[in-house]
């Protein structure tokens, strides 16, 4: 008989929807967490009829069952970080906000409102319900389209991204990372096309902020399905491992280039990112 030799990894929790196509949502979240040496637990908020070409339908889980799933996980595991993804309805957003209120763990809010295909995933009421959850967030990670929904202002340039991130911090989030994948083309000092992600962190009660910009090479592909899920999960996993916020964001942003470059060529659509390719640095 072999000796039992268990490992004791940090535990993270994803609260998000299921992607039947496997490229985003709970499926991408758990893969990214595993790639970072973190044990992933899950609260499912909705199931989707989804593939690489788009979203065919969404079926929400009853809010009381979302609360029950959360209570089951929180009552058994020492959850060291939480991330939220697609929350489907205003009632679920409010339920999740109430559930995590007393959590002693960093909270990464990925406000999944617009799919990479352009499909709107939430009702206007659900979008409006995000304000209290954002106020509770350690970090909120919208793409440009979601930042527009949250702030009511166009987000088309890195300067717009900084303004939107500042507004989200003013709403109460400790920090905001506005992802640059959907922004107009930006070049670095050598003329290469890059993605610019903008991080704004609140530094004091009087409104002071620290601003960071992370440039990554733009990969020549449309296969970015699941990129936001993988990135927010990678950040949450790093926070669960005890990394500081700025370092966790910087490392996760840098490693996403490899996840996109080595994406999955599956399905009849553009494909999906590869969370298993994340180089988590040990």
Map residue 107 onto helix, strand or coil. strand
pLDDT at 181: 81
pLDDT for position 282? 47
Q: What is the DSSP letter of 114?
A: B
For residue 281, the 8-state DSSP code is -
Q: Which residues are CB-contacts of 49 (< 8 A; sequence separation ≥ 6)?
A: 20, 55, 56, 57, 58, 59
Cross-strand bridge partners of residue 47: 18, 59
Cα→Cα distances 163→12, 75, 200, 203, Å: 30, 39, 9, 16
Between the alpha carbon of residue 44 and those of residues 63, 183, 193, 256, 274, the distances in Å are 10, 30, 37, 24, 21
Q: For each of the chain's 282 residues, which pLDDT tens digit applies?
A: 889 989 999 999 999 999 999 999 999 999 999 999 999 999 999 999 999 888 898 899 999 999 999 999 999 999 999 999 999 899 999 999 999 999 999 999 999 886 655 666 677 888 889 999 999 999 999 999 999 989 999 999 999 999 999 999 999 999 999 998 878 667 666 667 888 999 999 876 666 778 899 988 888 888 888 999 999 999 999 999 999 999 999 999 999 888 998 989 999 999 999 988 876 554
pTM: 0.93
**Res 132: pLDDT:** 94
For the domain bounded by 11-277, which CATH number is listed? Answer: 3.40.1190.20
Model pLDDT, residue 202? 83
Phi, psi of 197 (to 5 degrees): -100, 135
Predicted local distance difference test score (pLDDT) of residue 82: 98
């Amino acid at each position: 008989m072999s000796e039992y030799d268990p490992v004791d990894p940090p535990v993270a929790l994803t609260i998000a929807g299921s992607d039947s196509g496997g490229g985003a949502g709970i499926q991408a979240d758990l893969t990214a967490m595993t790639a970072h040496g973190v044990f992933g637990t899950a609260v499912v908020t909705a199931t989707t009829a989804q593939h690489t070409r788009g979203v065919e339908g969404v079926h929400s889980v009853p809010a009381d069952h979302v609360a029950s799933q959360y209570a089951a996980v929180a009552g058994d595991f020492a959850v060291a970080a939480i991330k939220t993804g697609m929350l489907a309805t205003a009632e679920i957003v409010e339920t999740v906000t109430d559930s995590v209120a007393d959590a002693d763990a960093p909270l990464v809010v990925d406000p999944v409102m617009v799919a990479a295909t352009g499909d709107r995933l939430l009702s206007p009421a659900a979008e409006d319900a995000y304000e209290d959850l954002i106020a509770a967030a350690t970090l909120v990670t919208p793409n440009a389209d979601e930042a527009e929904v949250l702030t009511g202002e166009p987000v088309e340039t890195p300067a717009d991204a900084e303004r939107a991130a500042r507004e989200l911090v003013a709403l109460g989030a400790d920090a905001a990372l506005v992802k640059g994948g959907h922004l107009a083309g930006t070049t670095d000092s050598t003329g290469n096309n890059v993605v610019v992600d903008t991080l704004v962190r609140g530094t004091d009660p009087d409104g002071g902020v620290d601003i960071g910009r992370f440039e990554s090479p733009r990969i020549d592909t449309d296969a970015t399905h699941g990129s936001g899920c993988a990135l927010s999960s990678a950040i949450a996993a790093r926070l669960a491992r005890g990394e500081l916020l700025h370092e966790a964001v910087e490392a996760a942003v840098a490693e996403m280039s490899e996840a996109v470059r080595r994406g999955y060529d599956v399905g009849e659509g553009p494909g999906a990112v590869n969370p298993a390719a994340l180089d988590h640095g040990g």
